[in-house]
Structure 1
Amino acid sequence: MVDRTNSAGDDDGIRTFAFPADRSISGVGMQVGPMGAGRTWHSEALLGRVHRIDFHVVLVFAAGPVRHMVDFTEYEATAGDVLWIRPGQVHRFTTTGEYRGTVLTMQPGFLPRATVEDTGLYRYDLPPLLRPDPPRLAALEASLAQLRREYEDTDTLPPGLHTAVLRHSLTAFLLRLAHLAAGSAEAAGRPGDTTFTLFRDAVEAGFATNHSVSAYADALGYSRRTLVRAVRAATGETPKAFIDKRVVLEAKRLLAHTDLPIGRVGAAVGFPDAANFSKFFHQHTETTPAAFRAELR
């Protein structure tokens, strides 16, 4: 990984890492290889330090357990598990677990838009940690192994064809991964194209300025009661709790990743008054914005 210089990273010690294109074979927009002790697969991203990435990372574990934080939630992965970290997410490597297995990184823009949509590359509502059953894990590992062989084979095809084959092989792997992620969401009671998904997408687009359940219901053409039923069935939460959770997550990201004054963080997530933001944040996290930021540094 390569440090992407920015003022926030310089001032607060929280770095954003860009895709390390200079380390890719033939300079393509992806990498795949082993992770483990003595390897440089996480480069300057020090273990135990919160950081952010602007590319996709897929970790397929061959051992464990390993505890890994993604967007301030701790996940425990072991052999056979898959962890999918998306661009913009804050995460942290553990200092105690041993990372063993295969890691895939992919630069945004390497795949065409249609493939991005088909594979759900930016479905942030899907769980990062996936636990495939043995048949699906075997198929996923076989697809990843084929992708790695194609990635490392730079002798049998000219560069243009090599990149095209990589895109096809990567798409095949990601389609399997996306199917696994969608299945995990369904098993957890999260349906596909439903009232909830429309609400989820609307919240993702508008949470920074709109915290009103009624406003979302009106915009989507549903009654408040219908929206409450749909969101509760999908998540077990009320629509208001879902909105608040998204606002808190963004606030945490800004507190961890930037040196914005707390008042400006609040304004960025829809609280022009700093005192109201601090009250809201404490209500949902049992800590203050200042204490949360200090804990991460």
Structure 2
Amino acid sequence: MADMADRSIQGGDGIRTCPFPVELSVGGVGMQVGPMGTGRTWHADAPLERVHRIDFHVVLLFGAGPVRHMVDFTEYEATAGDLLWIRPGQVHRFSRTSEYRGTVLTMQPGFLPRATVEATGLYRYDLPPHLRPDAAQLAGLRDSLGQLRREYEDTETLPLSLHTAVLRHSLTAFLLRLAHLAAGSAESVGQQADSTFTLFRDAVEKDFATNHSVSAYADALGYSRRTLVRAVRGATGDTPKAFIGKRVVLEAKRLLAHTDLPIGRIGAAVGFPDAANFSKFFHQHTDQTPAAFRAELR
């Protein structure tokens, strides 16, 4: 992978998180783009084949395959022409056996202005990370990423301030193409349902650790429970209760995989003060006990 700093930070939840190394990017800008490779690591204590978390965006455009890659505990198989988009806070793991070939883009949160962040859906965690463009989409993405890489590597033509501005524009062009591909399946959802779901999704992301009540979310957002059910089902195929449950389970999995916190404390961190209730909830959603899930990853 592109060179990463040999350092990390410790998150408030105890998960070791690998930060974006601005000092290793060309010109110190908040992005990197270059060829994939072997023998790289984000951090000495977080080898690529172990589950780890990053605080920046990673986009992998594969030139060969198949490659098996885990993102938030789902295994994806990517082949030539596929992309993986891993967002800040997600946990992932590189395959021990797959050979990674293609181009990797990494980007620090905050490198792009807020309007661009919103237009490109940089934090649409509801969208799958694995993307399969058709031939025309792939050609556009490759051309756009190639142009971005040329601008990134050209540090002689422009002063740093203009170089950075051009990079932001080139990166935005690529991300708009990528976002269009990622959100393509959601275009058929009505605007009202989409707006309702977006507000619900953002509220769950903020409060899932303390609020598991569908009625409470509906009341806070000013919708009837029926409206919320219709919007969430239309956007995801799930009920609001199932959507909340999946988010809680995902966070529990992250903590089980990446910390040594006692299971009772992990339960409390995701809204279950009683360890037995947490274990029952986790088993209902995964068919595993928390202890068995943790042992499987160690």
Q: CA deviation at 1:5?
A: 4.2
Contact 1:127 1:184 in 2 (8 A): no
Secondary structure of 1:88's partner?
coil
1:24 lines up with 2:25 in the alignment: yes
Q: In structure 1, what residue type is equivalent to 2:263? A: I
The corresponding residue for 2:53 is 52
Contact 2:194 2:231 in 1 (8 A): no
Q: CA deviation at 1:213?
A: 1.4
Q: CA deviation at 1:154?
A: 0.8
Count matched residues.
Answer: 292
Q: In structure 1, what residue type is equivalent to 2:180? A: H
Q: Cα distance 1:113–1:84, how it changes in 2: closer, same or farther (>3 A)? A: same
Q: In structure 1, what residue type is equivalent to 2:112? A: L
Contact 1:8 1:259 in 2 (8 A): no
The corresponding residue for 1:255 is 256
CA–CA distance in structure 2, aligned partners of residues 164 and 234 of structure 1? 35
The corresponding residue for 1:127 is 128
TM-score, scaled relative to structure 2: 0.90
TM-score, scaled relative to structure 1: 0.91
Superposed CA deviations along residues 249-297 of structure 1, whole A, max 9, x for unmatched, are: 1111122222322212111111111111111111111112122222222
Q: CA deviation at 1:84?
A: 0.3
The corresponding residue for 1:4 is 8
The corresponding residue for 2:151 is 150
CA–CA distance in structure 2, aligned partners of residues 261 and 76 of structure 1? 33
Secondary structure of 1:208's partner?
coil
CA–CA distance in structure 2, aligned partners of residues 265 and 148 of structure 1? 42
Q: In structure 2, what residue type is equivalent to 1:199? A: F
Q: In structure 2, what residue type is equivalent to 1:79? A: A
Secondary structure of 1:49's partner?
coil
The corresponding residue for 1:89 is 90
Secondary structure of 2:194's partner?
coil
Q: Cα distance 1:90–1:271, how it changes in 2: closer, same or farther (>3 A)? A: same
Q: CA deviation at 1:75?
A: 0.8
Percent sequence identity over matched residues? 81
Q: Cα distance 1:23–1:96, how it changes in 2: closer, same or farther (>3 A)? A: same
CA–CA distance in structure 2, aligned partners of residues 68 and 4 of structure 1? 22
Unaligned runs of 5+ in 1: none
Q: Cα distance 1:115–1:194, how it changes in 2: closer, same or farther (>3 A)? A: closer
CA–CA distance in structure 2, aligned partners of residues 116 and 261 of structure 1? 37
Q: CA deviation at 1:33?
A: 0.4
Unaligned runs of 5+ in 2: none
Contact 1:196 1:230 in 2 (8 A): yes
CA–CA distance in structure 1, aligned partners of residues 158 and 21 of structure 2? 23
